[in-house]
Structure 1
Amino acid sequence: MRRDISAEIERFPIAGSFRISRGSKTEAEVVTCTITEGQNTGRGECVPYSRYGESLDQVRGAIESVMPAIREGADRTAVIGLLPAGAARNAVDCALWDLESKIGGRRAHSDVCAMPPRPLTTALTISLGTPDEMAAQARSNAFRPLLKVKVGTEDDRARIHAVASSAPNSRIILDANEGWTPENIREHMLVAAEFKVSLIEQPLPQGKDEILRSIPHPVPICADESVHGPDDLEQLLGLYDAVNIKLDKTGGLTSAIILRDRARSLGFGVMVGCMVGTSLAMAPAVLLAQDADYVDLDGPLLLAKDRAPALAYTGSLVSPPDPALWG
């Protein structure tokens, strides 16, 4: 049966603003892929990221380039050969997962998870700001068991201190988004250890992180921008202790499963993370994250308005998706 496919740019307002070391944003800009076959419809959402040379129009154009193949029945394996890893392939891959689930009457988690999925504790992101601003954010979220704190400036000691003091019972992940330098990383690592930080994410720029091999890791270090697929992993041995898997980097759930399994086999810890998107983008990642060491799927918690239907968040617990949303 012939399929129909479309790609739509959508925008969802963020509650306040979201700021990291590279800049700030006030809305989530996403591309949604919809594939229909008969009475069944599958959807996938991606978030183009300029850090990787992506834009809304470029990603939508990439999806449009494979529409003839999708209409003729190209499956997820074929799509891996048609599109490079990245946001466009993620949207198409996840839409195909959703469609396959609905056509077959089989929940996606049956093929992703070793056991029935359960609610997971996700981190909540504290945006980069002044120490006082970040302390206020932390106090408002001090009830949450896990906070992900955006840093990445020349001197983050005061920020780390402010957040740790304002949320003393929360575990903390620091995310520098490539913002630290060889000159300040040792000091920042020691500060992180002093305040019992659990994990540090991508402290140095991709390709400029060789120093991580020769300095102590008093706090485990997680690769984000430095890892996109399984081919990246070998060169990260000795540099990083864990990897952050995001569907928008790997190019979908199909490739993310391969990356997760390969990372585990090499001894890396696993974080499953996200861009700032809606529940539709988080849904497949919730299934991938069932055995993750760290879960960072708080995109919908940062929005002023999510999709409907949406994932169910209870405090920091995110439940697996209902089929009406995805899978």
Structure 2
Amino acid sequence: MPTRDMLPTPRRAFLAGAVGTTLVGTTGVTASSHREETRDEPNEKRTRPSWKPPAHDLEMDDGHRLRVWERSPEDPEEAVLFVHGMTYGGVPMFDPPVAKDFGWLPYAAARGQAAFAPDMRGYGESEPPREYSEPPEANAPPLSFEREARDLLEVTRWLREDRGFERIHYVGLSGGTWRGRAVYELADPGYETVTLAGGSLDTLEVGADPGGPAYLPHQREEFLAGWTGEIPEGRDHDEWIGGGAFTASEIQTAVWRAIFESEQALESASKSNDTETIIAPFVRQEREYHPKQITDPTLVVRSSSDETISREGALNLYDAVGAADDRKQYREIAGGTHFSFLERTRHEFFHAVHDFQRQH
């Protein structure tokens, strides 16, 4: 979640799971299979810690493995598809190991919804692109919004046909708002509602240089600076982030643990300089992906102290969404940064989204 000014290249960074974005044309997703895991089943390289939620592995049409995390109650009637941003994967953004029921996935599950959070290609514990085994300058960015949109359409198909959910809500966080726009550019997924959280229109540049690099190394210090740098000057970090229940360090350490203890860890860099480093993917954008394609009920939500997404950009996004005026809403959460969903204001953030979903 570095800001643009923190990047060593002149690309805009999308926080909350965001560094760059890339898009490539691909064939449609047709075949799918999944392998369900219990908490104790081994991952390819390590045993998954007990604090990570249950997971499924889906195979995309090109054979690529996508990991989908799940928190669900008994007999849920609807599903929520949570899509992370452009730097960090599903677990650190939606279910970090801070405390029981801290994150957005357990919040949704406690309200009767089946909550799913895929790790997009190159993130978390999904299969990394082969280019990530080489230095970043050796390859062009292998990821694209269009490929990601096709993957999300396949996850949606799996939720409907294999899991039996007729009602599916979409929640896109930061760069996940662009992924949602790409989904609607390719097809009509028929979501019950769409939430675009921490997204912008026109005022935020996305899309990686198609010539490369494929990714950037991203260190723990950059993660911390990108987050705390948005807290207003003079405010106590422990109070702003933890709200008295936790310290800032407790939350940020747990979130980083979930980021680094995944396939995103750049182990060679970490061993060489003793600094914990991850791969920050770049994603190509090859179309506009205008939100006018989104005609399902839509909520655009922004936090008031978000320095990555301006109020102007968020309101422009709201205006551009294709849903009729009586089918879309704009909400602003007071006193949160671009990481509001991990801060003391997170429950207000969650409530706003859940209330909108209940209206439709």
Asked which structure has the greater CA Rg, the reply is 1
Higher strand share: 1
Provide TM-score, normalisation by structure 1. Answer: 0.29
Provide TM-score, normalisation by structure 2. Answer: 0.27
